[in-house]
Each structure stands twice: as C-alpha cells, then as structure tokens.
C-alpha cells in the first residue's frame, strides 16, 4: 500500500486530531477523567457566565453579576448562614406558631468542612464552600469511574463519567451546594459495597448520612441486599449459585453490621435536631416548610399529577411512571449494573416517591441515580448515540441554568427553585 493511500482522509487537521486522541488514550485513567470532568465544568461555567449577563434585579446582588457571585445564591446562602450562626436552639415561628425556614434543613458536614477551612486559612466562607464543592465534584467523578469499572471496561466507564459530568443538572457540581460532597461519599460507599468491603464502607456511610438526606434509602438498599445475599447463602447448601450471588458467613455478618450502622446514621441528624431544640419533629417540621404543607407519603405526587394532567390522568401518571421505572430496571443494560446498583436506584426512587414534594428542585434530586448513566451507555455501542446524548444533556443544561438557576420573580412573588 502506498504512503498516499495510508493518509488520513481528513488531511493534516484530521491527523492532528487523531494523534491528540491517541495521546489522550495513553494517559492514566485518573488524568483522562480529570480532563473530561474539567471540560464539562468549563462548559457549565460558560453557560453560567452567559446567563449572568442576562440576570436582572434579584434578592442577592446587582444585575449582571460576575461568575462567583452568580453561583453563590439559593442554598449556598443557607450554608453560609450555618457557618456564620450555626443552628437555632429554638425553631423560628410566625405569629400563628408555624415553623419558618431555618438552617436545620441543611445537613452539617459540608458547612462544617467549609467553616473549618475558612477558619484555618482566613478564606471567605463563600470561597471555602465553593472550593470544597469543586474539589468534591472532581473527586466524585473519579469515584464514579472507579465504580463503573467494576461493571464495564474503560471506554464505557469513561462514557458513563461523561454522561454524569454533563447531565442537565450537573452544573450543581461546581456551585456551593452539598451535592458534590454527597455524591462523592455515595459513589465511594457504593464502590465499597460492590467490592464487599463492608467494614470499610461504614465510616463512609456515616459521613454520607451527614451530608444530605440519602441515609434512609441507602439503609433500605442494604437491608434488601442482606436479604438477597442471605437467601443465596441458604440456597448454596443445596445448589451453589453464581459466584456473584454467594457470600460467606463472614461477609453476611459484616453486611449486617453495615446495615445497622446505616440505619442508625440515617436517623442521626433528625435526632441531633430533636436534642438541640427539644422538639422531636424539629427536622421534619423544618423540611416541610418549603413545601407549604404537612408530609403525607406519596400524596404530593398524585396532587401534582392532578394539577398537571387532570383528575383521571393525574392519578394514573405516578403509577405509570413507577411501572416504567420498574421495567427499566430489568432491561439488559441496566441488569448488567448488578444487584447492588439496581437496588440502590430502586430504593432511592422509592424514597423520592414517598417523601419528596415534586417541584422544580426534583430535577436536582435525581443526581443520586447516576449509576443509570452507565446503563444508558451500555444501551448502545454507537458513538453517534453516545455523542448525541452528551450534546442533548449540554443543551438541557442551558435550559436548567437559564430557567431555574437565574432568578426572575414570578407574578405571585418568588421564583422556581433550582
């Protein structure tokens, strides 16, 4: 074959791109993940800055703020209040005795780390919150890759990290919210559970339960996993099952201990709020302030369905959604995720359906379902499909930032929360 025939048909530019791609593939995995994640966050930063140019009057700063002011709004201000004033010993109430918005709704690990960094370095609290969030987001991407590598080869795992990094609400991974830290700990805990390193997972789970309210579904997942593994252990005496489904007695003991730790840790923050305020329902009363009504499990989804689709379709819509989600968990690409990750997704979605009041913040609450990103990758090996998903996610990220992060007063007052 001649030299001309071997030439890249795209010409010199194509040759340069090919050599660059080849060089990147030769990097260590952690450097590849870092480069991918940094590119995703740069894209989000550009969207933030473009949206900030159109930001009008708002409760926090003058119009057209700079990037750093623009990302330090919404819940970031609440975390700043935790650093400055801590948590109230008496729940604030209005003249009618109704509990008002307060910092008990915001878990302590993230502001504690940022407050410590601020006191240690003299850094502004807002800057320390931002720095920890950004570092935690980067570390979460590394942990997500390590988790995905338990279930797939390098290329699909990298695509899974790409889906995670550009997901429509992934911009929250670079703002002073607790999500990046919580996702780092969640990915780490899931990785240790998948590796059956249950004792090592215990301190990670405790910290995770102090970062965001994900402890209840995680404990439920561990409980169901324990039942599944114990059943496989009992059956093993009659007929040895696949290696993935068999646990030793030592493994089962460690898993039992981790389940107990997770259950206790899930209740730790509500218990702290009770002890500090003397009100058994201090945490739940505070959480329900933002929804404007008492907590009745599952009911808000039907109420929202009726508001959106009418009395008949509105009642059916949540049930159809649950059915479709259940079917998805049994699709071959999702089955490849393994029992632990599928149980986590099922338990977390069940938790959202039971306790979440559906609103615009619901999109952000979907981030802990990130294992499904790998399932979406495994749906097809087509680069066109995977590239299209990435492009679609970036476009939807623009929608999320412009529609929900940027503040614009509604006719009745307030705005849609991100």
End-to-end CA distance of the chain: 59
* pLDDT score for 19: 65
More confident residue, 415 or 46: 46
Question: CA dist 138 to 131, 135, 353, 384, 387, Å?
Answer: 11, 5, 29, 26, 22
What is the residue extent of each domain of the chain? 29-405
Residue 93 per-residue DSSP state: B
- For tokens 């615009």, the residue is 360
pTM: 0.93
Q: Indicate the range of 77-86, 281-290, 293-302 predicted with least confidence.
A: 293-302
What average pLDDT does the structure give for the chain?
Answer: 92
Interatomic CA distance for residues 21 and 354, integer angstroms: 46
- Ramachandran angles phi, psi of 93, nearest 5°: -135, 160
| Average pLDDT over every residue of 85-94 | 95
pLDDT in tens, 15-42: 654 565 567 788 999 999 999 999 999 9
pLDDT in tens, 186-241: 999 999 999 999 999 999 999 999 999 999 999 999 999 999 999 988 887 655 54
């Amino acid at each position: 074959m001649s030299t001309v025939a071997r030439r890249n048909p795209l010409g010199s530019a194509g040759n340069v791109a090919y050599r660059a791609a080849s060089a990147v593939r030769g990097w260590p995995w952690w450097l590849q993940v870092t480069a991918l994640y940094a590119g995703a966050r740069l894209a989000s930063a550009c969207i933030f800055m473009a949206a900030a140019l159109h930001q009008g009057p708002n409760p926090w700063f003058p119009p057209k703020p700079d990037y750093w002011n623009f990302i330090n709004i919404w819940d970031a201000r609440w975390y700043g209040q935790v650093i400055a004033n801590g948590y109230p010993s008496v729940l604030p109430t209005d003249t009618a005795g109704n509990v008002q918005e307060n910092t008990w709704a915001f878990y302590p690990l993230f502001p504690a780390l940022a407050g410590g960094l601020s006191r240690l370095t003299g850094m502004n609290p807002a800057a320390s919150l931002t720095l920890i969030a950004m570092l935690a987001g980067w570390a979460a991407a590394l942990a997500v890759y390590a988790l995905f590598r338990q279930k797939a080869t390098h290329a699909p795992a990298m695509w899974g990290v790409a889906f995670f990094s550009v997901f429509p609400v992934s911009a929250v991974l670079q703002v002073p919210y607790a999500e990046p830290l919580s996702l780092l700990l969640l990915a780490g805990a899931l990785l240790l559970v998948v590796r059956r390193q249950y004792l090592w997972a215990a301190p990670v789970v405790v910290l995770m339960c102090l970062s965001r309210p994900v402890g209840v579904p995680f404990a439920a997942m561990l409980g169901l996993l324990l039942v599944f593994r114990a059943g496989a252990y009992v059956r093993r005496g009659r007929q040895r099952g696949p290696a993935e489904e068999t646990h030793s007695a030592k493994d089962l003991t460690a898993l039992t201990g981790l389940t107990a730790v997770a259950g206790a840790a899930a209740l730790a923050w509500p218990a702290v709020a009770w002890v500090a305020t003397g009100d058994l329902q201090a945490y739940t009363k505070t959480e329900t302030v933002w929804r404007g009504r008492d907590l009745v499990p599952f009911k808000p989804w039907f109420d929202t369905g009726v508001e959106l689709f009418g009395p008949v379709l509105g009642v059916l819509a949540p049930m159809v959604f649950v059915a479709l989600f259940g079917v998805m968990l049994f699709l071959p690409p999702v089955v490849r995720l393994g029992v632990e990750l599928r149980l986590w997704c099922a338990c977390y979605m069940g938790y959202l359906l039971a306790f979440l009041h559906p609103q615009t913040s619901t999109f952000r609450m979907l981030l802990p379902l990130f294992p499904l990103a790998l399932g979406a990758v495994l749906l097809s090996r087509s680069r066109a499909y995977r590239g299209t998903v990435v492009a679609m996610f970036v476009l939807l990220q623009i929608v999320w930032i412009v529609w929900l992060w940027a503040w614009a007063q509604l006719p009745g007052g307030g705005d849609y929360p991100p």
